[in-house]
Amino acid sequence: MLETIAAIWQKYGYVYLQGMWGTVYIALVTVLCGTLLGTLLSVVRLSRFRLPQELIRLYVWVLRGTPALLQIYFFYFFVPKYLPFDLSERACIIMALVANAGAYVEEVIRAGIQAVDRGQGEAARSLGLTAGHTMTRVILPQAVKNILPALGNECIVMIKQASLASIFFIVEITSAFKTVQSATFITIPALMISGALYLLLTTVLSALMKLAERRLQRND
């Protein structure tokens, strides 16, 4: 087994590496844009504007209640038709992944914000801080500690979810497996290499998250 794996790696290593960069790219964009989208959504949802609140509830309800794969199909087939400019297949899929991640991140961040003691917001407002400053300078910096562990989990899900792009033959780790498998007809060893690469990415991410958490806890 090990020999087969080594042989495959020697010959097709570059396919896997390309796949890994593809996954890293998709995951990175998804994590960054998804977190940004989720933060925005949660801040609006915690504001006192009724209509946007309800719209976001609807959004989260739909995006969390349907499979990510279905959402990717939707973005793949539907969205490009109605856009005035061309969008690459990869961009469509990334948009779907971002939309999906945003819904989950919204929940994580909202829970983290609501877990900050109410007295903190009241103290800030009673000092005359505006609602915006209260959020950005008092609540969010404290909410980060509640948010980070759960957000780390979401990021790991996002890395793994990028594998859905393989259905559309976008270059990433699972596609790399498919490529190698169809060229060599060797399945299990080829699959194990992909698995190992995912583990590598998720382990590195977990370690980074741990590090960030520890830094934040320093002034507790």
Positions touching other proteins (CB under 8 A) are 117, 119-120, 122-131, 133, 137-138, 141-142, 219-220
CB of 113 to other proteins, least distance (A): 14
Nearer to other proteins, 133 or 160 (CB): 133
- Provide the minimum distance between the beta carbon of 49 and other proteins in the complex, in angstroms, as a whole number: 16
Structure-block tokens of residue 74: 């939707």
Name the nearest CA neighbour of 63 among 95, 40, 91.
95
Nearer to other proteins, 130 or 203 (CB): 130
Rounded to whole angstroms, the Cα distance separating 143 from 131 reads: 16
User: How does DSSP classify residue 78?
Assistant: T
Q: How far is the CB of 123 from other proteins (least distance, A)?
A: 4
Question: What is the distance between the alpha carbons of residues 99 and 59, in angstroms, rounded to a whole number?
Answer: 9
To other proteins, the closest distance from the beta carbon of 155 in angstroms equals 23
CB of 36 to other proteins, least distance (A): 22
Instruction: Give which of 162, 148, 161 is closest to 25, Cα–Cα.
Output: 162
Pick the closer one to other proteins by CB: 93 or 139.
139
Q: Which residue's CB is nearer to other proteins, number 127 or number 199?
A: 127
DSSP state of 137: I
Residue 62 or residue 131: which is nearer to other proteins going by CB?
A: 131
Nearest in space to 191 (alpha carbons), one of 178, 201, 202, 182: 178
What are the residue ranges of helices labelled H in the chain? 2-46, 50-65, 68-77, 89-114, 118-126, 131-133, 140-161, 173-184, 188-217
